[in-house]
Amino acid sequence: MTINVKDIEKLFSQKKFDDISNILLPLVNHPEKTNIPLWNIFYLIGQSYRFKEDLHNAVVYLGKSVDELEDPLKQTIDIKKEYAGVYKALGIAHQLLGNYDESIKALSTSIDLDDKSPSHWNSLAITQRLMNQYDKSEKNNESALKIYFRNIVDKFNNSKNSTYYPFENLSNKVQLHVKYSMDAAMYLAVKNGFDTIAMPNGKLAEKFTNDKETRSLYWSEQISKEKNQKDFLIMPNYFNTIFKIISNDVLYITLIGNKGTVLMLQDKKEHEKYLYESNLLKSYYEKSIKKN
């Protein structure tokens, strides 16, 4: 039977890491027996060792995977992004071993190959924090958060048929998402050629929410003929939808927690807000998981 990537992914989901290495190690010398590329065989073996906390072997095989990738910077965009995960995995393995310089090198390459992944920036920030490079770590934590929110809104299909999410009271207790949602809104406005950005006041927001024709919209285009400008009006469902996503996403909880940690190490008072919201959302997420 030919082994394929889906078979290995299933074993990863079952945490059968010994089975993965036992299956793949013999294929290193006989790659013709599988449709899995050799670089990916090394990568999967390395990941199985990493999850078994055998970090020395993880570095060896992830390093072999990197060596197998010939001139990845010259490859197509899609291939480059696939390679980025290999460098990230190698960087994390080095990080866990305390090989911080090697970790920085590998993680920086992962970002060069795919700078739209917040987890790549986050991993680099963690290594920098462990090296006491707090200013660099904080900067890259912030980059991770901004990219995370921009990735969310890039997927928004602004339509009256979009899913409408009602306001949740918990969002009043966690306000950091508003800051990053506004940054993402400005990013969208610039990207789509708007001149200004605005939010409806309380009564107008309530009107939009009660109107079935508008409440599912993420934003509305307002044309001012007098000023000859196009305004980007952020609708309530924009914030409600983002909150629904982030309140159920471990990555976001991790990102704000890591930002809070590096702020705390610099004695910056702002750390209290990040750590408070991280802990609150973590508790909320764990309770929701138990209910389901």
For residue range 30-69, list pLDDT tens digits in order.
888 888 989 999 999 999 999 999 999 999 999 999 988 8
> Lowest mean pLDDT: which of 176-190, 194-208, 261-275?
194-208
Residue 25 neighbours by CB distance under 10 Å = 13
* In the chain, where the domains are located: 5-115, 143-292
- What are all long-range contacts of 177-183, with beta carbons under 8 Å and residues at least 24 apart? 177/149, 177/239, 177/242, 177/243, 177/246, 178/239, 180/145, 180/146, 180/148, 180/149, 181/149, 181/153, 181/238, 181/239, 181/242, 183/146, 183/149, 183/150
The C-alpha torsion from 54 through 60 and 61 to 65, rounded to 10°, is 140
Q: Between 226 and 94, whose confidence is greater? A: 94
In percent, how much of the chain has pLDDT > 90? 75
Q: Rounded distance, CA 20 to CA 255, Å?
A: 30
- What are all long-range contacts of 61-70, with beta carbons under 8 Å and residues at least 24 apart? 62/86, 62/89, 62/90, 62/93, 63/90, 65/39, 65/40, 65/90, 66/90, 66/106, 68/38, 68/39, 68/42, 69/39
Measured between alpha carbons, how far is residue 141 from residues 120, 126, 157, 197, 252 in Å? 10, 8, 28, 26, 11
Topology of the domain covering 5-115: 1.25.40
Please, what is the average pLDDT of the chain?
A: 92
Closest CA to 86 of 128, 44, 35, 53: 44
Assign 72 a pLDDT band (cuts: 50, 70, 90): low
Residues 6+ positions from 242 with CB-CB distance below 8 Å: 149, 152, 153, 177, 181, 184
The helix (H) or strand (E) run that includes residue 196 is strand 196-198
Predicted confidence at residue 49, as pLDDT, reads: 97
Assign 73 a pLDDT band (cuts: 50, 70, 90): low
Rounded to an integer, the average pLDDT of 80-106 is: 94
CB 110 within 8 A of CB 85: yes
Q: Which residue bears the tokens 């339509």?
A: 159
Rounded to an integer, the average pLDDT of 196-215 is: 87
User: What is the pTM assigned to this prediction?
Assistant: 0.91
CB 50 within 8 A of CB 93: yes
Predicted confidence at residue 240, as pLDDT, reads: 95
For residue range 263-275, list pLDDT tens digits in order.
999 999 999 999 9
Q: Between 98 and 288, whose confidence is greater? A: 98
Rounded to an integer, the average pLDDT of 96-107 is: 97
